[in-house]
Amino acid sequence: GGKAAPACGFAIGVERIVLLMKEYQFVAPARPTDAYIVHVGGGTAAQALRLAESLRDAGLIVLMHAGGGNIKTQMKKADASGARFAIIIGPEELAAGEVSLKPLREADAQVRVAPARVAGIIQQRA
């Protein structure tokens, strides 16, 4: 009954896959988060999204801050995430066409670099 309504569906058997994973005690290998992107100010969210995408394309595990908060709040979340680096994009970095790269697990100094160099720097310090 009733009017025809266009629709589509699919099934992939997720339940069966989960049962097999449990049976074979499959555990996905955990890799630490490589970078957490902190962004504050107008226009920085778009730059952060572009950078996150390019870093993920390079094989890095990247988290990006979602929601509000000042730099201090976001840096606390970056540290709590376990990420090895914080990538900071603020109004100054945006105007200069750079990002600040801050190691969170080492005593190295924070540096400002071109976004295109970030993946290489993080991969070198793996």
Measured CA angle at 37 (ends 33, 40), to 5 deg: 160
In this predicted structure, what is the pLDDT of residue 2?
Answer: 84
- State the CATH number of the domain containing residue 59: 3.40.50.800
The answer to whether position 67 is within a domain reads: yes
Q: Phi/psi of residue 86, each to 5°?
A: -110, 135
The answer to whether position 107 is within a domain reads: yes
The answer to whether position 16 is within a domain reads: no
Query: Residue 50 corresponds to which tokens in the numbers above?
Result: 């572009």
Residue 43 in this model has a pLDDT that exceeds 90? no
pLDDT band at 5 (very low <50, low <70, confident <90, very high): confident
The answer to whether position 102 is within a domain reads: yes
Looking at the structure of the chain, the number of domains it has is 1
The answer to whether position 23 is within a domain reads: no
Range of the domain at 82: 35-124
For the chain, how big is the Rg over CA atoms in Å?
20
In this predicted structure, what is the pLDDT of residue 113?
Answer: 98
Q: How many helices (H) and strands (E) does the chain have?
A: 5, 5
The answer to whether position 24 is within a domain reads: no
The answer to whether position 30 is within a domain reads: no
Q: What is the pLDDT of residues 79-126, one digit of tens each?
A: 999 999 999 999 999 999 999 999 999 989 999 999 999 999 999 987
pLDDT > 70: percent of the chain? 99
Burial class (CB within 10 angstroms; exposed 0-12, middle 13-18, buried 19+) of 3: exposed
The answer to whether position 15 is within a domain reads: no
**Spatial separation of the C-alpha atoms in residues 92 and 63, rounded to whole Å:** 22
In this predicted structure, what is the pLDDT of residue 114?
Answer: 97
pTM of the model: 0.77
- DSSP label at 106? S
